[in-house]
Chain A
Amino acid sequence: MWYEYSKEFIYNIVELDGKLADATHFFIYDTIKIWFLLITIIFIVSFLRTWVNTEYVRAHLQGKSSLYGHVGASLFGIITPFCSCSAIPLFLGFIQARIPVGVTFSYLISAPMNNEIAIAMLFGLFGFKVTAIYIGFGLLVAILGGYFIGKMGMEKEILMDIKPIDTDLEASLTKLSIKERSKEAWDYTYDIFKKIYLYVLVGVGVGAWIHGYIPTDFIARYTGEGNPFAVIIAVLMGIPMYSNAAGVMPLVEVLTSKGMLLGTALSFMMAVTALSLPEALILKKIISLKLIGIFFTIVGSGIIAIGYLFNLIL
């Protein structure tokens, strides 16, 4: 519906035609659609999140079996907020509650990967199916990645001496009225949107330009079946782009529509969110470089495997 309106506006009211009209229509249509979805999805996620905070997750995971821990930590990663700046208290707090290192990593992989901005952007750009694949395989990487790190006995790679707490933590949900929850969710949504709307605008803008002007075979040659290393290059490129997920994803969508394989796109987007350089630098204060290397290698290989798998079957 919105597609028709924006098309009508560009072609008949502003009276543009040709490539410029294509690009402008694409730009207006995509920007407004994604802004709308971002606001809606961030609001829903942050509303649900008013019940569960990270302290609750920690209390909930304390003393649980390893299997439950990995799956639970990965699932909680979807709903709870994560900021790489609180990676240290989170990591140490989990260890303090005797939650195994592997389970802690399951959470540390899942939380940034399944953040509300990435999910909203994916949903707006690629639709439900790709979003579901992204979340599903993202959870798999978090569960297995955490499991393997746990198996390697990495406890000695934690550089700080943490005294475990022996008491049972109380897992209590936050008590607030619906009105307070809505207000909190709205404040959060507004805050996030204010920070990223420009990135979306620029990302979609550059995307619209590519959409209108760069020939398909050019993109297909470098990012499509013609390049067997595309997935690996995509993952390496994704590592330094963490803070710009909102600006990067519109570009990925355009590249995909022009011949980039979907597996390559998925790998790239997972690398952007899950492998974050700033987070690694922060974690370096409390865990050894060796463990950070293992963390990046395991998650990176998992993401690369997913990329090749999807390029083969889709």
Chain B
Amino acid sequence: MKIEVLGTGCPKCITLERVVKEAVAKSGKFAQVEKVDDIMKIMEYQVVSTPGLVINGKVVSTGKVLSVNEVVALINE
């Protein structure tokens, strides 16, 4: 499983990355977490409000910091 956090370095993006790492640990699944700060790549995902969350190439959330449990739910989907 590949999880990408899209963001150009705003405080919210950093928070989301931390939340995602916690969520991965909590879910017990094996997932690769990557922070994407290249604006061109962010735009390829059609995201205009950061932070964005992408799981296996699919955008699941934009413009907000999710809670650990919300991310765990998304990982388990």
Q: Is B8 a contact partner of A55 (Cβ separation < 8 A)?
A: no
A-B complex: 8 closest residue pairs judged by Cβ atoms: A85-B10, A93-B48, A54-B49, A86-B50, A54-B48, A90-B48, A89-B48, A86-B49
B62 within 8 A of A: yes
A-B contacts, 6 listed (Cβ < 8 Å): A53-B63, A55-B62, A81-B63, A85-B10, A86-B8, A86-B48
The answer on a CB contact under 8 Å between B12 and A83 is yes
Contact A54/B63 with A85-B10, A85-B11, A89-B39 known, Cβ cut-off 8 Å = yes
Residue of B nearest to A59 (CB): B46
**Chain A contact residues: over half helix, strand or loop, or mixed?**
helix
B47 adjacent to chain A (CB < 8 Å): yes
Inter-chain contacts of B13 with A (CB < 8 A): 85
- The answer to the question of A94 belonging to the interface, with a C-beta cut-off of 8 Å to chain B, is yes
Given contacts A58-B48, A85-B11, A162-B43, 18 further A-B contacts (CB under 8 A): A53-B62, A53-B63, A54-B63, A55-B62, A81-B63, A85-B8, A85-B10, A86-B8, A86-B10, A86-B49, A86-B50, A89-B42, A89-B49, A90-B48, A92-B39, A93-B47, A160-B39, A184-B64
One of B11, B47, B64, B67 near A89 (C-beta < 8 A): B47
Interface centre among A85, A96, A184, by most chain B C-beta atoms within 10 angstroms, is A85
| Minimal beta-carbon separation of A99 from chain B (angstroms) | 10
How many pairs of A and B residues are in contact by the CB < 8 Å rule? Answer: 58
A305 on interface, CB distance cutoff 8 Å: no
Q: Which residues of B contact A93 (CB under 8 A)?
A: 43, 46-48
In the complex, A299 Cα to B64 Cα: how many Å? 29
Residue of B nearest to A162 (CB): B43
A54 to B64, CA, bound (A): 11
Do A55 and B46 have beta carbons less than 8 Å apart?
Answer: yes
In the complex, the answer to whether A83 meets B62 with C-beta atoms within 8 Å is no
**A4-43, CB under 8 A of B: which get 1 and which 0?**
0000000000000000000000000000000000000000
B39 touches A81 (CB 8 A): no
List B residues at the A interface (Cβ < 8 Å). Answer: 8-13, 39, 42-43, 46-50, 62-64, 67
A292: chain B residues within 8 A (beta carbon): none
- Chain A nearest CB, measured from B12 CB (Å): 7
Q: Which of A240-294 contact B (CB under 8 A)?
A: 286
Residues of A within 8 A of B8 (CB): 85-86, 88-89
Q: Does A169 contact B (CB under 8 A)?
A: yes
Given that A86-B10, A88-B8 are known contacts, is A55 also in contact with B47, CB under 8 Å in the complex?
yes
Q: With a CB–CB cut-off of 8 A, which chain A residues contact B11?
A: 85
Determine the chain B residues whose CB is within 8 A of the CB of A90 once the complex forms. Answer: 48-49
The CA of A162 and the CA of B44, in the complex, are separated in Å by 11
Closest to B49 in A: A54
- How many Å lie between the Cα of A108 and that of B49 in the bound state? 13
Max chain B CB contacts within 10 Å: which of A88, A92, A94, A96? A88
Per-residue interface assignment for chain A, residues 153 to 173, with 1 indicating a CB less than 8 Å from any chain B CB and 0 otherwise: 000000010100100010000
CB-CB < 8 A to A184: which residues of B?
64
A55 & B50 in contact (Cβ 8 Å cutoff): no
- The distance from the CB of B63 to the nearest CB of chain A, in whole angstroms, is 6
Chain A contacts for B12, CB-based, 8 A: 83, 85
For B50, the chain A residues whose CB sits under 8 A away are 85-86, 89
Q: In the complex, which of the residues A53, A92, A187 contacts B49, with contact meaning CB atoms closer than 8 Å?
A: A53
* Across-interface contacts of A86 in B (CB, < 8 A): 8, 10, 48-50, 63
